[in-house]
Amino acid sequence: MKRRHKRILLIVLLAIVLLAAAVVIFLGMKKAFTYEAPEIENAGQSVHAEPTPERTPQATYTLEKPVNILLIGIDNHVGSSETERGNADGIMFATINPDTKELIFTSFMRDTRVRIENGYDKLTYIYHTGGIQHMREIMEQNFEVPIDYYAIFGYADVAEIVDAVGGIEMDLTENEIYFMDGKIKDISYTMGQDYKDNVLTVDQAGKVKLNGVQAAAYTRIRPAEGQYDAGRTERGREVIAAVLSKAFRLGTSDLLKFASVFYDKLETDVPDSLFMQIGMDASEIRGYKQISDRIPIDGSYESGNTGSGYYVVPDMEINKKHLQESLFEGKH
């Protein structure tokens, strides 16, 4: 078998388990809504991080122990330079835990304040200013959780991936459809599609089959139900579940189509050996319980304007403890 075809088959197996998470990792490439937020006292000053040197690749992992993969959705879009590094506007851990037999998808609110070398900054800016290795190190230092590998996607890729599984069904409110409209226009333009082919109207509220553009728009809206970033991450996790459900039912030919869409778009340091291990264990992994989570957790943060912008300021000790117990001890 040619190397390219072999690797595509290996990617299919990982995609069944992991790729569905990519439909949310961009989580809104631009702010969908501008609003006045309360001031937060003593929230800290944002200081952009300096780049961190590349670190030595980690040893090969097997599925004999948990594997934690950092998924990053970047906001490069039409008009951006191909070499321009966007913000990490979607941030997620995809964790495969063979001990608890769980697939855990943990999304991070993009405006979460984290400590860096010389002050504080938002998670969303760390990738732009320092790259993937610095992003990984800052998250490891703040949350005290190891990150084994990473994968990076763009939001236009997400729409193509949703289309590759044949679309997904979601329950939409009239309010959500109203706020999706502007995002559908934006994404349609970005992808060279006709807005009229993707438009939704409020009288379609209820269960709706979404194509890729519409699903991407759904995950990008923040103010639909007044939940802002928290609501956006929740919608993203709903899309993950819907794509996983479709991926699990795909036949071989459709899985190959799914993989071919994914193949040329993935930037990752996940080694072939892990792809192979996942392939060997695929039948078991498909039976793992799927857990979705968010950091910061409810009741553990403040949010509002500081002197340097809007921040989500977490109680870091509470969130570190929750994250560690969720990923590695099966406590959710």
Residue type, 35: Y
- Concatenate the DSSP letters of all residues of 29-81 into one string: SS-S------B-TT---B-PPPP----PPPPP--TTS-EEEEEEEE---TTS-
Helix (H, G, I), strand (E, B) or coil at 252: helix
pLDDT at site 135: 95
Are 86 and 132 in contact by the 8 Å Cβ rule? The answer is no
Stretch among 88-102, 163-177, 241-255 having the lowest mean pLDDT: 241-255
Helix (H, G, I), strand (E, B) or coil at 283: helix
pLDDT at site 54: 53
Global pTM reads 0.75
- At residue 126, what are phi and psi to the nearest 5 degrees? -60, -45
- Once rounded to an integer, what is the mean pLDDT over residues 204-232? 78
Placement of tokens 């997620």 in the chain: 92
Band of residue 143 on the pLDDT scale cut at 50, 70, 90: very high
pLDDT, tens digit (0-9, with 9 covering 90-100), for 46-97: 444 444 445 554 445 456 889 999 988 776 544 344 445 677 877 889 898 9
* Dist CA 115 CA 317 (whole Å): 13
* Dist CA 256 CA 101 (whole Å): 26
* Dist CA 296 CA 305 (whole Å): 17
Q: Which of 304, 308, 322 is nearest to 120 (CA)?
A: 308
Are 282 and 13 in contact by the 8 Å Cβ rule? The answer is yes
Task: Show me where the domains of the chain are located.
Answer: 3-166+229-328
pLDDT at site 321: 97
pLDDT at site 161: 78
Are 41 and 123 in contact by the 8 Å Cβ rule? The answer is no
Ramachandran region of residue 126, left (φ > 0), alpha (ψ -120 to 50) or beta? Answer: alpha
Q: What is the CATH number of domain 3-166+229-328?
A: 3.40.630.190
